[in-house]
Amino acid sequence: MAHASHMHSLEFKLPDLGEGLTEAEIVRWLVEVGDLVAVDQPVVEVETAKAMVEVPCPYGGVVTARFGEEGTELPVGAPLLTVAVGTPADGGPPADGANSGGSGNVLVGYGTSEAPARRRRVRPVVTAGGKARNSDPEPLATAAPVPVGPEPVEGPVPVISPLVRRLARDNGLDLRKLPGSGPDGLILRADVENALRTKAAPAAPVAEESPTRVSSVRDGVRTPLKGVRGAVADKLSRSRREIPDATCWVDADATELMRARAAMNAGTGPKISLLALLARICTAALARYPELNSYVDTGAREVVQLEQVHIGFAAQTDRGLVVPVVRDAHTRDAESLSAEFARLTEAGRAGTLTPGELTGGTFTLNNYGVFGVDGSTPIINHPEAAMLGVGRIVPKPWVHEGELAVRQVVQLSLTFDHRVCDGGTAGGFLRYVADCVEQPAMLLRTL
């Protein structure tokens, strides 16, 4: 007697991404109809105004339908796919997660296991005997498993970076025809760029989802302000519109700070970054001038002073300007700050920052010296109240101990919301930062 089917279909909708995000663009589907998916397996890669992330499905089973093509935008709550879960009629094994009821995981970029969800991916692989089985979880750093026999048109491509995929798609380049120079044939960004440079034929027509188009009315290339760039544009406009900002600056002799860093890095332990030392100075300064770790609640007409210090830092990436946030910076030492700055910077370059890592900052550190400039008047990262800008550190003539000397000089600037404090407070904060740069031993008073 045949077993009765206990299969039933569950609809997985685009989850609430939080942080005010209401829609996302489908960048790439990671599963096909008919694929067997595991609980918390990433099924689609989407781009929000905050980051590019992979969405894990909370159900395990067989994909029966997908909704939305690559390049289309979906609102939160719109169906993404349907998954058949339960026990098949033939008495076969139940689909993964059939008895678990799903993971309940609805937050983009996070799984229920300790390992990040985006590093686990299960796909059907055909064995030598022709029987389908599930491959072992695939590490992110290796190419996707290649099935025996011809690869389907929409089959896996040995490429990891979403930036590489988008670069190829925007320029009409077929990654399936491109040999990779990385391990196991992994396609790197250099491979795509070389292919674009050596194309003999004229560039392929720009795909519909390309971010640029040539205007037929006036000459020039138009780039829609959407995604990350659109979010940045909106935030900068709001900051200029709502915040009455002012800027003060001072030159400081950073010679002793550079010597202190060199001494700290002379051993074999983890290296301390200059950004980490500047952040450590900022947390000490904010402890003395907490008015600058605040925001203005315009509706209540109140200044809200915050206890925790979450330091954002401006980072330029291929996808535009992002501001990752180091949580609880006031509780971290220089080594911890260095590690977290490095981790977030790498994630920013790879396009894997989560929305939670890009929001919630209370103070921003902007090192524009990396662009080779001395000073700037940056726009405050709304709704924060202040931003410390750091220019390049260069040898300059300087009066040191009463005599002219060549010293490592840096210009420091503080842009602040004039509603939260007056010039005396802002000047006191900036002067304390400059004093710590010139005499790092002052930080010993804070230990």
**What is the three-class DSSP state of 324?**
coil
CB 360 within 8 A of CB 310: yes
Per-position DSSP letters for 359-418, written without gaps between them: S--SEEEEEGGGGT-S---PPP-TT-SEEEEE---EEEEEEETTEEEEEEEEEEEEEEET
Query: In sequence order, what are the residues at sequence separation of 6 or more whose Cβ sits closer than 8 angstroms to the Cβ of residue 189?
Result: 161, 163, 164, 167
Q: What would the mean pLDDT of 296-312 be, rounded to a whole number? A: 95
Q: What's the rounded Cα separation, in Å, for the pair 396 and 277?
A: 22
Q: Which amino acid is at 92?
A: G
CB 156 within 8 A of CB 30: no
Residue 418 annotated in active site:
yes
Q: Which of 3, 6, 8, 418 is catalytic?
A: 418
Q: Give the pair of three-digit tokens for residue 205.
A: 């027509």
pLDDT of residue 253: 98
Q: What's the rounded Cα separation, in Å, for the pair 273 and 282?
A: 14
Read off the pTM: 0.57
* Listed range (33-37, 55-59, 102-106, 290-294) with the worst mean pLDDT: 102-106
285-310: string of b/e by CB count within 10 Å (b at 16+)?
bbeebbbbbbbbeeeeeeeeeeeebb
| Bridge partners, 357 (sequence order) | none
Residue 41 or 99, more confident:
41
- Per-residue pLDDT at 142 exceeds 70: no
Q: Give the pair of three-digit tokens for residue 279.
A: 């952040």
pLDDT of residue 217: 57
- Per-residue pLDDT at 159 exceeds 70: no
Q: What's the rounded Cα separation, in Å, for the pair 212 and 174?
A: 19
pLDDT of residue 218: 62
CB 343 within 8 A of CB 366: no
pLDDT of residue 8: 78
Q: What's the rounded Cα separation, in Å, for the pair 27 and 47?
A: 6
- Per-residue pLDDT at 128 exceeds 60: no
- Provide the H-helix boundaries in 114-254: 162-170, 189-197, 227-242
Residue 329 or 350, more confident:
329
Query: In sequence order, what are the residues at sequence separation of 6 or more whose Cβ sits closer than 8 angstroms to the Cβ of residue 78?
Result: 13, 14, 67, 68
Q: Which of 328, 400, 422, 435 is catalytic?
A: 422
Q: What's the rounded Cα separation, in Å, for the pair 361 and 345?
A: 16
Q: From the CB of residue 163, how many other CB atoms can be counted at a distance below 10 Å?
A: 18
When the pLDDT of each residue in the chain is averaged and rounded to a whole number, the result is 79
Give how far the C-alpha of residue 257 lies from the chain's centroid of Cα atoms, to the nearest Å.
30
Let me know if 336 is exposed, middle or buried by CB neighbors in 10 A (0-12, 13-18, 19+): middle
The residue with tokens 């709001």 is: 238
Task: Kindly list the domain boundaries of the chain, sorted by start residue.
Answer: 8-153, 157-208, 227-446
| CATH topology identical between 8-153 and 157-208 | no
Question: Using 50, 70 and 90 to split pLDDT, how confident is the model at 412?
Answer: very high
**What is the three-class DSSP state of 25?**
strand
* Listed range (46-60, 135-149, 255-269, 384-398) with the worst mean pLDDT: 135-149
- Per-residue pLDDT at 152 exceeds 50: no
Residue 97 or 119, more confident:
97
Q: Identify the CA nearest to 46 among candidates 19, 20, 76.
A: 76
Question: Using 50, 70 and 90 to split pLDDT, how confident is the model at 122?
Answer: very low
Q: What's the rounded Cα separation, in Å, for the pair 84 and 62?
A: 5
CATH class of the region 227-446: alpha beta
Let me know if 91 is exposed, middle or buried by CB neighbors in 10 A (0-12, 13-18, 19+): exposed
pLDDT of residue 349: 87
Residue 422 annotated in active site:
yes
CB 85 within 8 A of CB 76: no
* Listed range (153-157, 229-233, 280-284, 431-435) with the worst mean pLDDT: 153-157
Q: What is the CATH number of domain 8-153?
A: 2.40.50.100
Bond from prior residue into 324 cis (ω within 30 degrees of 0): no
Q: What would the mean pLDDT of 182-187 be, rounded to a whole number? A: 74
Q: What's the rounded Cα separation, in Å, for the pair 163 and 322?
A: 15
Q: Identify the CA nearest to 189 among candidates 171, 203, 214, 212.
A: 171
| Bridge partners, 46 (sequence order) | 26, 53
Q: What would the mean pLDDT of 180-187 be, rounded to a whole number? A: 75
- Per-residue pLDDT at 2 exceeds 70: no
In the chain, the largest separation of any two C-alpha atoms, in whole Å, equals 100
| Bridge partners, 55 (sequence order) | 44
* Listed range (23-32, 81-90, 127-136) with the worst mean pLDDT: 127-136
Q: What's the rounded Cα separation, in Å, for the pair 105 and 208?
A: 33
pLDDT of residue 98: 43
Q: Which amino acid is at 228?
A: V
- Per-residue pLDDT at 216 exceeds 50: yes
- Per-residue pLDDT at 408 exceeds 80: yes
Q: Percentage of the chain with pLDDT > 90?
A: 42
How confident is the model over 31-78, as pLDDT tens digits?
A: 998 899 888 888 988 887 666 778 888 888 889 999 888 888 888 888
Question: Using 50, 70 and 90 to split pLDDT, how confident is the model at 21?
Answer: low
Q: What would the mean pLDDT of 174-201 be, rounded to a whole number? A: 75
CB 52 within 8 A of CB 318: no
Most confident of 49-63, 211-225, 318-332: 318-332
Per-position DSSP letters for 26-63, written without gaps between them: EEEE---TT-EE-TTEEEEEEE-SS-EEEEEES--EEE
pLDDT of residue 85: 84
Q: Identify the CA nearest to 390 among candidates 286, 314, 287.
A: 314
pLDDT of residue 195: 83
Query: In sequence order, what are the residues at sequence separation of 6 or more whose Cβ sits closer than 8 angstroms to the Cβ of residue 427?
Result: 248
Q: What would the mean pLDDT of 388-392 be, rounded to a whole number? A: 96
Which overall architecture, per CATH, does domain 157-208 show?
A: Irregular (4.10)
pLDDT of residue 113: 36
pLDDT of residue 22: 77
The residue with tokens 């985006």 is: 118
Q: Identify the CA nearest to 116 among candidates 137, 100, 91, 97.
A: 137
